[in-house]
Structure 1
Amino acid sequence: MAFNTSAWLLTALLLLPTASIAAKQQQSGGGRVLYKYVDESGALVIKDYLPPEVVPKGYSIVNAYGQTLEVVPPVKTKEELAEEKKLKKQREAEERARREAARRDADLIRQFTRVEDIMRARDTQLSAIDVQISIRNGQTNLLTTQLEDMQRHAADYERRGQPVPAQLQKDIRESQRQMEENKKFVDIQEQEKARIAERFRQDIIRFKELQAARVIRQRDQSDGEGLAETTAVHNCGTAEMCRKAWQLAQIYARDNATRSLEIVTDSLILTGKALGDRDISLSFSMVPERDNTAQIVLEVSCNASDAGNQLCQTERVRNIVDGFGQYLASRLQ
Structure 2
Amino acid sequence: MCTLFLFCSVANAKNYYRYKNSKGQFELVEQLSPEAIAAGYDVINDKGQLIERVAPGKTLGEIEDEKEEIKEAKRKEFARQQQLRRDAELLKLFRSEIEILRARDTAVSGIDQRIELSKNQRSLLKSSIEDLQKRAADFERSGKPVPQYLKDNISETQKQIADRERREKVTATERAKVVADYDRDLIRFKELQTRRMVMQHQDDKTDNAELNQNRIFLTCFDESRCNDIWQKAQEFAKNKASGTLEIISESVLLTSAPKNDSELSISFARLPSNKKTYIVLEVICNDTEAGAELCKQGEANRLLTEFQGLITPKSNEQTESTPES
Q: Is the CA contact (8 Å cut-off) linking 1:268 and 1:286 kept in structure 2? A: yes
1:203 aligns with 2:185: yes
1:132 aligns with 2:114: yes
Once residues 282 and 68 of structure 1 are traced to their aligned partners in structure 2, the CA distance between those partners, rounded to angstroms, is 72
1:305 aligns with 2:288: yes
**2:237 maps to which of 250, 253, 277:** 253
Once residues 331 and 159 of structure 1 are traced to their aligned partners in structure 2, the CA distance between those partners, rounded to angstroms, is 84
- TM superposition shift of 1:216: 0.5
What is the TM-score with the length of structure 1 in the denominator? Answer: 0.82
- TM superposition shift of 1:279: 0.7
Aligned to 1:243: 227
Aligned to 2:76: 94
Change (3 A) 1:94 1:51: closer
Alpha-carbon deviations, 1:254-297, whole Å to 9, x = none?
33322222222221111111111011111111111233x41101
Aligned to 1:319: 302
Q: Is the CA contact (8 Å cut-off) linking 1:281 and 1:302 kept in structure 2? A: yes
Aligned to 1:3: none
**2:251 maps to which of 254, 258, 267:** 267
Code of the residue aligned with 2:67 in structure 1: it is K
Code of the residue aligned with 1:232 in structure 2: it is I
Once residues 194 and 227 of structure 1 are traced to their aligned partners in structure 2, the CA distance between those partners, rounded to angstroms, is 39
SS at match of 2:261: coil
What is the TM-score with the length of structure 2 in the denominator? Answer: 0.84
1:231 aligns with 2:215: yes
Superposed, 1:37-76 pairs within 5 Å as: 37-43=19-25, 52=33, 53-61=35-43, 70-76=52-58
SS at match of 1:233: strand
Aligned to 2:64: 82
Once residues 180 and 78 of structure 2 are traced to their aligned partners in structure 1, the CA distance between those partners, rounded to angstroms, is 23
- TM superposition shift of 1:57: 2.5
- TM superposition shift of 1:205: 1.2
Q: Is the CA contact (8 Å cut-off) linking 2:219 and 2:278 kept in structure 1? A: yes
- TM superposition shift of 1:61: 4.2
Code of the residue aligned with 1:317 in structure 2: it is A
SS at match of 1:107: helix
Q: Is the CA contact (8 Å cut-off) linking 2:245 and 2:253 kept in structure 1? A: yes
Q: Is the CA contact (8 Å cut-off) linking 2:90 and 2:185 kept in structure 1? A: yes
Q: Is the CA contact (8 Å cut-off) linking 1:208 and 1:285 kept in structure 2? A: yes
Code of the residue aligned with 2:272 in structure 1: it is P
**Structure 2: gaps spanning 5 or more residues:** 1-6, 318-325
SS at match of 1:314: helix
Once residues 63 and 309 of structure 1 are traced to their aligned partners in structure 2, the CA distance between those partners, rounded to angstroms, is 84
- TM superposition shift of 1:66: 9.5
Q: Is the CA contact (8 Å cut-off) linking 2:97 and 2:186 kept in structure 1? A: yes
Change (3 A) 1:159 1:231: same
- TM superposition shift of 1:309: 1.5
Once residues 220 and 36 of structure 1 are traced to their aligned partners in structure 2, the CA distance between those partners, rounded to angstroms, is 61
| Equivalences, count | 303
| Higher mean C-alpha displacement, 104-113 vs 169-178 | 104-113
Q: Is the CA contact (8 Å cut-off) linking 1:33 and 1:63 kept in structure 2? A: yes
Tell me how large the CA RMSD over aligned residues is: 2.8
- TM superposition shift of 1:40: 4.0
Change (3 A) 1:210 1:154: same
Alpha-carbon deviations, 1:23-77, whole Å to 9, x = none?
xx9xxxxx997755334442457x6956545244222347899997643222222
1:287 aligns with 2:287: no
| Higher mean C-alpha displacement, 47-56 vs 181-190 | 47-56
Q: Is the CA contact (8 Å cut-off) linking 1:233 and 1:295 kept in structure 2? A: yes
Alpha-carbon deviations, 1:165-206, whole Å to 9, x = none?
100110111111101101111111111111111111111111
Once residues 64 and 315 of structure 1 are traced to their aligned partners in structure 2, the CA distance between those partners, rounded to angstroms, is 90
Percent identical across equivalent pairs? 33
Aligned to 1:18: none
Change (3 A) 1:221 1:59: farther
- TM superposition shift of 1:246: 1.0
Change (3 A) 1:118 1:65: farther
Aligned to 2:162: 180
Change (3 A) 1:221 1:67: farther
Change (3 A) 1:171 1:81: same
| Greater length-normalized contact order (CA 8 Å, ≥ 6 residues apart) | 2
Change (3 A) 1:71 1:326: farther
Change (3 A) 1:319 1:60: farther
Aligned to 2:260: 276
